[in-house]
Structure 1
Amino acid sequence: MVNFLLERTVPLPLDEAWRRLTNWPRHGEAVPLTRVTVTPPGATHEGTMVVARSGIGPLAFDDPMEVTVWRPPGDDVPGLCHLEKRGRVITGWAEIEVRPGPGGRTRVRWREELGVRWVPGVFDGVVERTARYVFGRAVNRLLRGA
């Protein structure tokens, strides 16, 4: 298992940064070879399942995640979403937090504990660097998009 943290400070209101980061289908647009579905459709809440299907054809796999904490931001109150990874291939959790930052900006924290079954710990460095790169680009793209 690897742990990593991504932090960004963006010129967006809290609620807009939250909206962009928790628009689950857009994650599929931000991560290559990935499509995201949400069950049940509609507003996210605790218990919502977010499934990212990554890969091509027979090499594709699902990364199902359950929302276990859902606290949207309020007036200068941080927002927090915690997802537990429930898959056979990808394990761990992810956490998205938005909070007031300097100068009216928003501070974003994306923390993740990521395990890939059948990948020995000797490859943790490669998994971490790859995840940091892929998720870093995804966070940047999600925050830039309207």
Structure 2
Amino acid sequence: MALFLVERTTALPPAEAWRRLTTWERHTATVPLTRIEVLTPPPSGVGTAFVARTGIGGVGFADPMRVEEWQPPGPDGYARCRLVKTGRVVLGWAEIEVRPLPDTAGSRVRWREDLRVRGLPDALFSRPTALTARPLFARALTTLLADPA
């Protein structure tokens, strides 16, 4: 299990941070060589399915995901969703949490993920996978929160 955590604070209010993070197509612009295709009609919620296709030319892989838990921001500003990876190559889950920052209009965002590749032994590959994935997801999170809507 390649478990990693990325956290960011932003001046964005929780509802806007949530919207930017869960508009799945926006992730295409943040992950190199990857295109996101949402497979279910809007709005997002439990059961929403999408696939991240990563590759160049004819070489690549698909990372299909499904929203398993969906809690958009309520009156307290807290929001959370859990994605499950349902593919043949990439396995695991991701959790996104948005919390209001005390005494500001801003938010704290947590992206926690367990990322595994089928067929690769966890004992050998979990650490290198996490060390590679964490900076990639940190960049994506920073970009999603910073880019104009």
RMSD: 1.1
Tell me the residue number matched to 1:74. 74
Identity %: 53
**Aligned AA (2:141):** V
Shift of 1:124: 1.9
Tell me the residue number matched to 2:103. 103
**Aligned AA (1:43):** P
Shift of 1:126: 1.4
Q: Distance in 1 between matches of 2:117 and 2:33?
A: 17
Deviations 1:29-81 (A, max 9, x none): 10000000112132101101021000113321110000011111022231011
Gapped regions of structure 1 (runs ≥ 5): none
The within-5 A match list for 1:134-145 is: 134-145=136-147
**Aligned residue pairs, count:** 146
Shift of 1:119: 2.5
**Aligned AA (1:46):** V
Secondary structure of the corresponding residue to residue 136 of structure 1: helix
Secondary structure of the corresponding residue to residue 69 of structure 2: strand
Tell me the residue number matched to 1:114. 115
Shift of 1:109: 0.5
Moved more, 64-73 or 119-128: 119-128
Gapped regions of structure 2 (runs ≥ 5): none
Quick one: which of 124, 127, 144 aligns to 1:125? Answer: 127
1:91–1:116: 8 Å Cα contact kept in structure 2? Answer: yes
Q: Distance in 2 between matches of 1:38 and 1:143?
A: 20
Tell me the residue number matched to 1:9. 9
Tell me the residue number matched to 1:57. 57
Secondary structure of the corresponding residue to residue 75 of structure 2: coil
Q: Distance in 1 between matches of 2:25 and 2:60?
A: 17
Q: TM-score, normalised by structure 2?
A: 0.93
**Aligned AA (2:131):** R
**Aligned AA (1:111):** R
Shift of 1:103: 3.4
Q: TM-score, normalised by structure 1?
A: 0.95
Runs of 4+ in 1 over 3 A off after TM superposition: none
Question: Given the alignment of the two structures, is residue 45 of structure 1 paired with residue 63 of structure 2, yes or no?
Answer: no
1:14–1:76: 8 Å Cα contact kept in structure 2? Answer: no
